[in-house]
Amino acid sequence: MEVVWKEETKIKRDKIIENLPQFHRTIAEQLIKQKSEELAKKRNSQEVEDKDLITAFFQEVPPAFKGMLQRLLTQLNVDYSQYVDQGKTEE
């Protein structure tokens, strides 16, 4: 099953990635794309949605950087609170 990205989710992904430190961008882009698509498939969906993207970021970002990720998402007006419960993400 091929997974596609909702256009608004893809735009959010690109915005978040471009605001990461440059030396993290390439690996983050690969990891987040892969994990987001995996999460969509797990939901039996053919489309990556915001919940997949945000959950992927919180699952893949090392614990030491989660505070930075939260600040970045807040600065970009990305509401992550509905997908993250006190630092834990949906599995």
Strand pairing report for 47-48 and 4-5: parallel
Q: Which domain holds residue 67?
A: 4-89
Residue 53 to residue 44: CA distance in whole angstroms = 15
CB of 58 closer than 8 Å to CB of 73: no
pLDDT band at 34 (very low <50, low <70, confident <90, very high): very high
The pTM (predicted TM-score) of the whole model is 0.87
- Containing 5, the helix (H) or strand (E) segment is strand 4-5
Q: pLDDT tens digits for 42-61?
A: 999 999 999 999 999 999 98
Which residue do the tokens 């807040």 mark?
A: 74
- As given in the structure block, the two tokens for residue 31 are 């990891």
* pLDDT reported for residue 69: 92
Residue 89 to residue 26: CA distance in whole angstroms = 23
Q: Name the 3-class secondary structure at 48.
A: strand
Number of domains in the chain: 1
